[in-house]
């Protein structure tokens, strides 16, 4: 399709939108303005005859999107992509035609912005997830794609009134959860706050209206206070010979609403609805201004944050402090340079806004590029679009902690992060090989929550591998995705091996000659399943995962081999060697040891769990899921065992117990002393977590402990 000449016949409304775009994009040179006019004409022709829900010509929307991009000083390719962002999705124009007119880069950007409309999906959620994945992956190739998308979403949210109420709520919820957070993540602060407020307005219109009225009333009541603070700031900074621009600002409605909800406050109780921004010429001037303002109003303890020394993960830099102002009102103050202010308002778009601040802007772009690399890692580790969608949502965390490596490097992690999150943030291989961690030079559990300023050292082992239990406390999407991906790959291999073992044992119980499972029998079995997508490895995997009972598959195969039988079928015992794999676990509830009578329980999605045969959980389990099990000859392995020892409380008691245990050749992993109960004065209980070889060694320990006169009872947990 050839673009018409720039003399396309715009109607008055369209002409007004087009003229506003060119006034806002006046920073373009003559050649770039010609290219933008060509893109406008191309989009006008493509959308000719289309209207929005409001009845306005459709072209007014892409023109408004491009105007917003011009406010952010987007380059010419980004502006052209903004004008034409719906052309491939909503018209008959192809990507090849667009590339021929405007080049491959612009065509790729527009294609990345187009939804996946022509494919079939099982649900709206799946469709949304696939479209989102396409957008995010396009963003990793060219970050301008997401900037255009945010401008698109911003204009759609501003004009959401013509939509049905339920659709408004759905779009607003998606915007709040995803697009506002992305705007925050790449540093588009104004867009972040406006998207929050617009989402709040459409999700809770009555609350929004009530809060808006309260804000207007407060604005009148507190005008004098704001003016007084601005004058006092100005005088003090002039006296200190600091050149600065001072701005007063209100917090956005959504952040006030969040604070009211979190702290159960009324609007009248929210004091810090106003903030002030001080913009100076250099970093030393930031700290000088901080000292001057701290001498003017008393700072609130614990409310100072230095984001200049330690920038946020989106590249944001500023000093934050809270002062006690007139009438005891708290005053939040941000102090930053002009370059920092450009990045704070424009994020990665600051690259186009403030070209002279290269070092600061590069820092913001660097942080965004790191995030985009993390997004690619999430994509590689996600099984499908839904899993990727959820992982990215988790990654868009609003709160962070800042952790030091042993070499003094600072890593930003989500609030609630643990040493496992830290290890995977350093490198995936470090995470996989983690065995322990030192926090501030002290050995601490891997589930310990980290605080800003903590120094963390990870201890690794070549033999270590990720533990599925880490998923219970890892919070970063990078760590969770890497752990899941590793376990998924290892679990399939383990499950197939276990499934093959179980199936062969079942067949040996059914077929007297113990004939081998031939390729011909496998093919016959798969033909009977009548599922062309299933391989025999899939069959073994399902057996190992507990989805299919091994006896069921074995009976089917035996019948295909011409064997007919009746009565109960019992598998030969599973041999346990004590080496846990991804599909064979020793139960933690009863901690079986070599020497205990054991049984195996086949649990869906877990594999085989080995219990003592007297374990209450085994007695309650479905008999069809149970298998006989025996220990193989085990020589050089240790197993966990737990003893609770009750005793009279005397001096040196714990040392005597430890001596009795170690003399038996066992290791003590840890000791707990449960809280004393009322009426048990003079009596104490110890819980010993031990590593032993077998029941014989455990019994030796119990006998040695009973020799101690103070010991009254010993229970194996």
- Residues with active-site annotation: 89-90
What 3-state DSSP class applies to 131?
A: helix
* DSSP secondary structure string for all residues of 367-381: HHHHHHHHHHHHHHT
The number of beta carbons lying within 10 Å of the beta carbon of residue 608 is: 22
Sign of CA dihedral 241, 245, 248, 253: negative
Do the beta carbons of residue 122 and residue 63 sit within 8 Å? no
Q: Which of 546, 687, 566, 717 is nearest to 621 (CA)?
A: 546
- Give the chain's length: 717
Half-sphere exposure of 548 (CA within 13 A, CB side): 22
Separation between Cα atoms, residue 606 and residue 603, nearest integer Å:
5
| In contact, 646 and 712? CB cutoff 8 Å | yes
What angle do the packed helices 189-203 and 253-263 form, to 10 degrees?
Answer: 60
Coil, strand, or helix at residue 29?
coil
3-state secondary structure 543-559: HHCCCCCHHHHHHHHHH
Contact 366, 311 (CB under 8 A): no
Strands (E), 375-471: 400-404, 410-414, 434-439, 442-444, 456-460
Question: β-pairing, 410-414 with 400-404?
Answer: antiparallel
Beta strands in 300-449 (DSSP E): 305-306, 319-324, 330-337, 400-404, 410-414, 434-439, 442-444
Q: Whose CA is closest to 503, among 572, 580, 577?
A: 572
Task: Report the alpha-carbon distance of residue 451 to residue 413 in Å, rounded.
Answer: 10
- Pairing label, strands 584-586, 607-612: parallel
Distance (Å) of CA 5 to CA 33, 45, 157: 14, 10, 32
* Contact criterion met (CB below 8 Å) for 112 and 138: yes
Q: How far is CA 407 from CA 44, 237, 457, 580, in A?
A: 57, 38, 10, 36
| Residue among 597, 590, 711 nearest 661 (CA) | 711
Report d(CA 213, CA 90) in Å as an integer: 40
3-class SS of residue 602:
strand
Helix 519-529 vs helix 536-544: angle between axes, to the nearest 10 degrees? 80
Gap between the Cα atoms of 151 and 155, Å rounded: 6
| HSE (side-chain half, CA atoms, 13 Å) at 223 | 5
61-64: Cβ within 8 A, 24+ apart:
61/86, 61/155, 61/156, 61/159, 62/86, 63/14, 63/17, 63/18, 63/20, 63/21, 64/17, 64/155
Q: Tell me which residue of 95, 131, 712, 187 sits closest to 389, measured CA to CA.
A: 131
Contact 90, 41 (CB under 8 A): no
DSSP 466-495: --GGGGGT--SHHHHHHHHHHHHHHHHHHH
Instruction: Compute and round to an integer the Cα radius of gyration of the chain.
Output: 33
3-state secondary structure labels for all residues of 203-217: HCHHHHHHHHHHHHH
* Helices and strands (H and E) in the chain: how many: 29, 20
């Amino acid at each position: 399709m050839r673009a018409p000449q720039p003399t396309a016949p715009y109607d008055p409304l369209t002409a007004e939108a087009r003229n506003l775009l060119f006034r806002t994009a006046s920073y373009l040179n003559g050649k770039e303005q010609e290219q933008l006019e060509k893109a406008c004409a191309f989009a006008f022709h493509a959308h000719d005859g289309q209207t929005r829900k409001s009845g306005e010509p459709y072209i007014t929307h892409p023109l408004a999107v491009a105007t917003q991009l011009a406010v952010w000083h987007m380059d010419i390719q980004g502006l052209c992509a903004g004008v034409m962002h719906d052309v491939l999705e909503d018209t008959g124009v192809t990507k090849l035609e667009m590339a021929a007119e405007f080049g491959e880069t612009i065509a790729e950007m527009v294609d990345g912005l187009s939804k996946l409309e022509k494919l079939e999906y099982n649900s709206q959620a799946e469709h949304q997830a696939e479209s989102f994945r396409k957008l995010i992956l396009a963003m990793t190739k060219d970050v301008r794609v997401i900037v255009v998308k945010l401008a698109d979403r911003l204009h759609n949210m501003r004009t959401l009134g013509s939509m049905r109420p339920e659709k408004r709520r759905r779009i607003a919820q998606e915007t709040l959860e995803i697009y506002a957070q992305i705007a925050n993540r790449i540093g588009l602060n104004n867009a972040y706050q406006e998207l929050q407020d617009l989402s709040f307005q459409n999700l809770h219109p009555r609350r929004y209206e009530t809060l808006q009225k309260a804000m207007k009333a407060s604005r009148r009541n507190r005008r004098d206070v704001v003016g007084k603070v601005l004058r006092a700031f100005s005088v003090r900074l002039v006296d200190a010979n600091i050149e600065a621009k001072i701005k007063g600002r209100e917090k956005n409605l959504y952040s006030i609403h969040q604070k009211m909800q979190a702290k159960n406050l009324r609007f009248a109780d929210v004091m810090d609805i106003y903030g002030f921004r001080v913009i100076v010429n250099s970093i030393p001037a930031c700290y000088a201004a901080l000292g001057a303002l701290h001498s003017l109003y008393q700072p609130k303890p614990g409310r100072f944050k230095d984001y200049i020394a330690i920038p946020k993960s989106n590249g944001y830099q500023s000093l934050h402090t809270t002062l006690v102002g007139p009438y005891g009102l708290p005053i939040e103050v941000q102090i930053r340079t002009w370059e920092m202010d450009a990045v704070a308002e424009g994020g990665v778009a600051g690259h186009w806004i403030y070209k002279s601040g290269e070092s600061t802007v590069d820092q913001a772009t660097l942080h965004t590029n790191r995030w985009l690399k993390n997004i690619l890692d999430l994509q590689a580790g996600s099984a499908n679009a839904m899993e990727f969608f959820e992982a990215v949502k988790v990654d868009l965390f609003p709160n962070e902690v800042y952790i030091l490596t042993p070499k003094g490097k600072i890593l930003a992690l989500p609030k609630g992060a643990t040493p496992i999150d830290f290890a995977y943030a350093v490198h995936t291989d470090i995470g996989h090989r983690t065995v322990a961690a030192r926090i501030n030079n002290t050995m601490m559990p891997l589930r310990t929550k980290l605080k800003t300023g903590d120094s963390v050292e990870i201890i690794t082992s070549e033999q270590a591998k990720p533990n599925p239990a880490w998923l219970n406390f890892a919070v970063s999407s990078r760590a969770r995705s890497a752990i899941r991906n590793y376990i998924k790959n290892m679990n399939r291999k383990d499950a197939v091996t276990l499934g093959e073992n179980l199936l062969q044992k079942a067949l040996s119980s059914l077929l007297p000659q113990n004939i081998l499972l031939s390729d011909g029998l496998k093919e016959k079995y798969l033909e009977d399943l009548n599922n062309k997508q299933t391989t025999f490895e899939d069959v073994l995997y399902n057996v190992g995962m507990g989805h299919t009972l091994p006896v069921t598959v074995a009976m089917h195969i035996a019948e295909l081999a011409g064997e007919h039988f009746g009565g109960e079928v019992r598998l030969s015992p599973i041999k346990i060697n004590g080496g846990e794999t991804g599909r064979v676990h020793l139960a933690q509830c009863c901690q079986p040891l070599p020497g205990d009578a054991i049984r195996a329980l086949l649990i869906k999605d877990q594999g085989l769990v080995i219990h003592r045969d007297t374990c209450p959980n085994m007695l309650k389990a479905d008999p069809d899921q149970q298998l006989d099990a025996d220990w193989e000859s085990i020589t050089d392995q240790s197993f966990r065992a737990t003893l609770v020892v009750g005793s009279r409380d005397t001096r040196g008691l714990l040392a005597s117990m430890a001596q009795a245990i170690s003399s038996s050749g066992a290791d003590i992993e840890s000791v707990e002393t449960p809280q004393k109960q009322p009426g048990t004065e003079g009596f104490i209980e110890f819980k010993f977590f031990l590593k032993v070889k077998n029941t014989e060694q455990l019994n030796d320990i119990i006998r040695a402990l009973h020799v101690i006169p103070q010991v009254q009872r010993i229970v194996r947990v």
